[in-house]
Amino acid sequence: MRSAQEVIVGAQVRAVPWVRQLVIDTGRAARRRHAIHGLFEVDVTSARSALRADGATRLFTAFVIHCVAGAVAADPSIQAYRDLRGREVIFDQVDVGLPVEVEVDGEPFAFTHVLRDAGRRTVEELHDEIHAVKTDPHLSPSVRKAPWAHAYLLLPGFVRVALLGALHRLPRRQQALAGTVGVTAVGMFGAGAGWGIGFQLHTLSVVVGGIARRPILFHDVLVEREFLQLTVSVDHDIVDGAPAARFVSRLRELLLAGDGIHRSIVWKQPV
Protein backbone atom coordinates (compact mmCIF):
# COMPACT_ATOMS: atom_id res chain seq x y z
CA MET A 1 0.00 0.00 0.00
CA ARG A 2 1.32 3.43 -0.89
CA SER A 3 1.70 6.03 1.82
CA ALA A 4 -0.38 9.20 1.83
CA GLN A 5 2.71 11.16 0.85
CA GLU A 6 5.45 9.98 -1.51
CA VAL A 7 7.74 11.26 -4.21
CA ILE A 8 7.39 9.90 -7.75
CA VAL A 9 9.12 11.09 -10.92
CA GLY A 10 10.32 14.26 -9.28
CA ALA A 11 6.86 15.22 -8.02
CA GLN A 12 5.35 15.11 -4.57
CA VAL A 13 2.08 13.22 -4.16
CA ARG A 14 0.05 13.69 -1.02
CA ALA A 15 -3.47 13.49 0.28
CA VAL A 16 -5.65 16.58 -0.12
CA PRO A 17 -5.63 18.44 3.24
CA TRP A 18 -9.01 18.31 4.95
CA VAL A 19 -9.24 22.11 5.08
CA ARG A 20 -8.75 22.25 1.28
CA GLN A 21 -11.60 19.79 0.80
CA LEU A 22 -13.89 22.24 2.60
CA VAL A 23 -12.94 24.93 0.07
CA ILE A 24 -13.59 22.57 -2.85
CA ASP A 25 -17.04 21.68 -1.52
CA THR A 26 -17.84 25.34 -0.95
CA GLY A 27 -16.90 26.22 -4.54
CA ARG A 28 -19.10 23.46 -5.93
CA ALA A 29 -22.06 24.55 -3.82
CA ALA A 30 -21.58 28.23 -4.76
CA ARG A 31 -22.13 27.46 -8.45
CA ARG A 32 -25.82 26.99 -7.69
CA ARG A 33 -26.23 30.70 -7.00
CA HIS A 34 -27.34 33.05 -9.80
CA ALA A 35 -24.97 35.85 -8.94
CA ILE A 36 -24.51 39.22 -10.58
CA HIS A 37 -21.32 41.18 -9.97
CA GLY A 38 -20.50 44.85 -9.99
CA LEU A 39 -16.95 46.23 -9.93
CA PHE A 40 -16.46 49.80 -8.80
CA GLU A 41 -14.01 52.00 -6.98
CA VAL A 42 -14.28 54.83 -4.51
CA ASP A 43 -11.93 57.62 -3.46
CA VAL A 44 -10.78 56.83 0.10
CA THR A 45 -7.97 59.39 0.24
CA SER A 46 -9.63 61.47 2.96
CA ALA A 47 -10.47 58.45 5.09
CA ARG A 48 -6.97 57.00 4.86
CA SER A 49 -5.41 60.40 5.54
CA ALA A 50 -7.50 60.72 8.71
CA LEU A 51 -6.37 57.28 9.86
CA ARG A 52 -2.71 58.03 9.11
CA ALA A 53 -2.90 61.36 10.93
CA ASP A 54 -4.08 59.60 14.08
CA GLY A 55 -1.73 56.62 13.74
CA ALA A 56 -4.69 54.29 13.18
CA THR A 57 -4.08 52.89 9.68
CA ARG A 58 -4.60 49.39 11.11
CA LEU A 59 -8.32 50.24 11.36
CA PHE A 60 -8.88 50.42 7.60
CA THR A 61 -10.32 46.93 7.08
CA ALA A 62 -12.63 47.40 10.08
CA PHE A 63 -13.63 50.80 8.70
CA VAL A 64 -14.71 49.26 5.38
CA ILE A 65 -16.67 46.53 7.19
CA HIS A 66 -18.32 49.21 9.33
CA CYS A 67 -19.41 51.05 6.17
CA VAL A 68 -20.70 47.87 4.52
CA ALA A 69 -22.75 47.04 7.61
CA GLY A 70 -24.09 50.59 7.77
CA ALA A 71 -25.15 50.50 4.13
CA VAL A 72 -26.93 47.16 4.67
CA ALA A 73 -28.64 48.39 7.85
CA ALA A 74 -30.22 51.22 5.85
CA ASP A 75 -32.07 48.62 3.75
CA PRO A 76 -31.89 45.11 5.29
CA SER A 77 -33.76 43.57 2.34
CA ILE A 78 -30.39 43.44 0.57
CA GLN A 79 -29.47 40.61 2.97
CA ALA A 80 -32.73 38.64 2.68
CA TYR A 81 -32.82 34.84 2.38
CA ARG A 82 -35.56 32.59 1.04
CA ASP A 83 -36.55 29.68 3.27
CA LEU A 84 -37.73 26.21 2.28
CA ARG A 85 -41.34 27.46 2.15
CA GLY A 86 -40.47 30.16 -0.37
CA ARG A 87 -40.78 33.02 2.14
CA GLU A 88 -38.22 35.81 2.37
CA VAL A 89 -36.53 36.19 5.75
CA ILE A 90 -35.06 39.67 6.29
CA PHE A 91 -32.75 40.03 9.26
CA ASP A 92 -32.65 43.34 11.12
CA GLN A 93 -29.17 42.60 12.50
CA VAL A 94 -26.17 42.69 10.17
CA ASP A 95 -23.80 39.79 10.88
CA VAL A 96 -20.70 39.98 8.69
CA GLY A 97 -18.89 36.76 7.74
CA LEU A 98 -15.19 37.58 7.31
CA PRO A 99 -12.56 35.05 6.14
CA VAL A 100 -9.55 35.12 8.47
CA GLU A 101 -6.43 33.22 7.41
CA VAL A 102 -4.83 30.98 10.03
CA GLU A 103 -2.68 27.87 10.02
CA VAL A 104 -4.52 24.60 10.59
CA ASP A 105 -2.52 21.35 10.76
CA GLY A 106 0.40 23.11 9.08
CA GLU A 107 -1.75 24.40 6.20
CA PRO A 108 -2.99 27.98 5.60
CA PHE A 109 -6.76 28.14 5.77
CA ALA A 110 -9.24 31.03 5.66
CA PHE A 111 -12.08 30.21 8.04
CA THR A 112 -15.17 32.41 8.33
CA HIS A 113 -15.44 34.40 11.53
CA VAL A 114 -18.78 36.16 12.06
CA LEU A 115 -18.77 39.74 13.36
CA ARG A 116 -22.12 39.93 15.10
CA ASP A 117 -24.32 43.03 14.91
CA ALA A 118 -21.64 44.88 12.93
CA GLY A 119 -24.03 47.69 12.02
CA ARG A 120 -24.22 48.90 15.61
CA ARG A 121 -20.54 48.63 16.51
CA THR A 122 -17.69 51.10 16.22
CA VAL A 123 -14.72 50.71 13.89
CA GLU A 124 -12.45 50.18 16.89
CA GLU A 125 -14.64 47.41 18.32
CA LEU A 126 -14.67 45.58 15.00
CA HIS A 127 -10.90 45.92 14.62
CA ASP A 128 -10.23 44.65 18.14
CA GLU A 129 -12.30 41.52 17.50
CA ILE A 130 -10.63 40.81 14.15
CA HIS A 131 -7.17 41.27 15.70
CA ALA A 132 -8.03 39.05 18.66
CA VAL A 133 -9.26 36.22 16.41
CA LYS A 134 -6.20 36.45 14.13
CA THR A 135 -3.97 36.28 17.22
CA ASP A 136 -5.88 33.40 18.78
CA PRO A 137 -8.20 31.68 16.26
CA HIS A 138 -9.76 29.52 18.97
CA LEU A 139 -11.55 32.63 20.23
CA SER A 140 -13.83 32.22 17.19
CA PRO A 141 -16.78 29.84 17.50
CA SER A 142 -16.09 28.81 13.89
CA VAL A 143 -12.70 27.31 14.78
CA ARG A 144 -14.15 25.60 17.83
CA LYS A 145 -16.48 23.75 15.44
CA ALA A 146 -13.52 22.00 13.74
CA PRO A 147 -14.51 18.55 15.10
CA TRP A 148 -17.88 18.96 13.35
CA ALA A 149 -16.03 19.73 10.10
CA HIS A 150 -14.11 16.46 10.39
CA ALA A 151 -17.39 14.58 10.89
CA TYR A 152 -18.92 16.40 7.91
CA LEU A 153 -16.06 15.25 5.67
CA LEU A 154 -16.94 11.63 6.38
CA LEU A 155 -20.12 12.11 4.31
CA PRO A 156 -20.14 11.33 0.56
CA GLY A 157 -19.12 14.26 -1.63
CA PHE A 158 -22.53 14.76 -3.27
CA VAL A 159 -24.18 14.86 0.17
CA ARG A 160 -21.72 17.45 1.46
CA VAL A 161 -22.26 19.72 -1.56
CA ALA A 162 -26.04 19.34 -1.29
CA LEU A 163 -25.95 20.33 2.39
CA LEU A 164 -23.83 23.41 1.67
CA GLY A 165 -26.02 24.34 -1.28
CA ALA A 166 -29.14 24.16 0.90
CA LEU A 167 -27.66 26.34 3.64
CA HIS A 168 -29.00 29.58 2.14
CA ARG A 169 -32.51 28.08 2.21
CA LEU A 170 -32.15 27.71 5.99
CA PRO A 171 -31.79 31.37 6.97
CA ARG A 172 -31.26 30.82 10.69
CA ARG A 173 -28.50 28.28 10.07
CA GLN A 174 -26.95 30.58 7.49
CA GLN A 175 -26.90 33.42 10.01
CA ALA A 176 -25.45 31.22 12.74
CA LEU A 177 -22.71 29.59 10.68
CA ALA A 178 -21.70 32.21 8.11
CA GLY A 179 -23.47 35.48 8.93
CA THR A 180 -25.95 37.39 6.79
CA VAL A 181 -23.41 39.30 4.65
CA GLY A 182 -20.02 38.22 3.35
CA VAL A 183 -16.98 40.50 3.24
CA THR A 184 -13.64 39.26 1.92
CA ALA A 185 -10.74 41.61 2.54
CA VAL A 186 -8.14 40.66 -0.07
CA GLY A 187 -5.84 43.30 1.42
CA MET A 188 -5.52 41.16 4.53
CA PHE A 189 -3.62 38.57 2.44
CA GLY A 190 -1.64 40.69 0.01
CA ALA A 191 -1.06 44.22 -1.25
CA GLY A 192 -1.58 45.88 -4.61
CA ALA A 193 -4.40 47.13 -6.79
CA GLY A 194 -7.07 44.93 -8.32
CA TRP A 195 -10.55 43.48 -8.00
CA GLY A 196 -11.56 40.02 -6.88
CA ILE A 197 -14.63 37.80 -7.31
CA GLY A 198 -15.21 35.23 -4.60
CA PHE A 199 -17.60 32.36 -3.99
CA GLN A 200 -21.21 33.52 -3.68
CA LEU A 201 -22.08 32.14 -0.23
CA HIS A 202 -24.34 35.00 0.87
CA THR A 203 -27.16 36.95 -0.72
CA LEU A 204 -24.77 39.93 -0.59
CA SER A 205 -21.00 39.58 -0.80
CA VAL A 206 -18.37 42.32 -0.94
CA VAL A 207 -14.76 41.67 -1.95
CA VAL A 208 -12.46 44.44 -0.75
CA GLY A 209 -9.72 44.56 -3.36
CA GLY A 210 -6.60 46.66 -3.63
CA ILE A 211 -5.94 50.38 -3.54
CA ALA A 212 -4.83 52.16 -6.70
CA ARG A 213 -3.06 55.52 -6.67
CA ARG A 214 -3.61 57.70 -9.70
CA PRO A 215 -3.48 61.41 -10.60
CA ILE A 216 -6.84 63.12 -11.13
CA LEU A 217 -8.21 66.65 -11.30
CA PHE A 218 -9.49 67.39 -7.79
CA HIS A 219 -10.96 70.87 -7.23
CA ASP A 220 -9.26 71.91 -10.50
CA VAL A 221 -5.85 70.79 -9.22
CA LEU A 222 -3.95 67.73 -10.47
CA VAL A 223 -3.31 65.58 -7.41
CA GLU A 224 -2.71 61.93 -6.63
CA ARG A 225 -5.65 60.19 -4.95
CA GLU A 226 -6.22 56.71 -3.52
CA PHE A 227 -9.05 54.57 -4.89
CA LEU A 228 -10.34 51.46 -3.14
CA GLN A 229 -11.49 48.77 -5.57
CA LEU A 230 -14.58 46.80 -4.55
CA THR A 231 -16.63 43.98 -6.01
CA VAL A 232 -20.28 43.73 -4.95
CA SER A 233 -22.07 40.46 -5.74
CA VAL A 234 -25.73 39.70 -5.11
CA ASP A 235 -27.91 36.64 -5.51
CA HIS A 236 -30.18 37.66 -8.39
CA ASP A 237 -32.84 35.18 -7.26
CA ILE A 238 -33.47 37.52 -4.30
CA VAL A 239 -32.03 40.95 -5.11
CA ASP A 240 -32.64 42.95 -8.29
CA GLY A 241 -30.30 45.44 -9.87
CA ALA A 242 -31.97 48.59 -8.51
CA PRO A 243 -31.68 47.69 -4.78
CA ALA A 244 -28.10 46.57 -5.43
CA ALA A 245 -27.31 49.92 -7.08
CA ARG A 246 -28.82 51.79 -4.12
CA PHE A 247 -26.67 49.75 -1.75
CA VAL A 248 -23.54 50.61 -3.76
CA SER A 249 -24.50 54.29 -3.68
CA ARG A 250 -24.94 54.24 0.12
CA LEU A 251 -21.66 52.36 0.56
CA ARG A 252 -19.82 54.86 -1.61
CA GLU A 253 -21.20 57.78 0.42
CA LEU A 254 -20.16 56.22 3.74
CA LEU A 255 -16.65 55.45 2.50
CA LEU A 256 -16.23 58.97 1.09
CA ALA A 257 -17.47 60.53 4.33
CA GLY A 258 -15.12 58.43 6.47
CA ASP A 259 -18.12 57.17 8.45
CA GLY A 260 -17.21 56.06 11.94
CA ILE A 261 -13.51 56.96 11.78
CA HIS A 262 -13.50 60.06 13.96
CA ARG A 263 -15.96 58.50 16.40
CA SER A 264 -13.67 55.51 16.88
CA ILE A 265 -10.52 57.60 17.20
CA VAL A 266 -12.14 59.70 19.92
CA TRP A 267 -13.50 56.55 21.61
CA LYS A 268 -10.08 54.87 21.87
CA GLN A 269 -8.25 57.88 23.29
CA PRO A 270 -7.67 57.79 27.08
CA VAL A 271 -9.69 60.26 29.07
pLDDT in tens, 44-53: 998 888 888 7
3-state DSSP assignment of residue 238: coil
Report helix angle 45-53 to 60-73, nearest 10.
Answer: 130
DSSP annotation of 153 reads: T
Bridge-based pairing state of the strands 204-218 and 181-185: parallel
Whole-number Å distance between alpha carbons of 86 and 89: 9
Q: Which domains does the chain have, with CATH numbers?
A: 18-257 (3.30.559.10)
pLDDT in the model for residue 255: 93
* pTM for this entry: 0.84
pLDDT in tens, 231-269: 999 999 899 889 999 999 999 999 998 877 765 554 344
pLDDT in tens, 212-240: 888 888 778 888 889 999 999 999 989 98
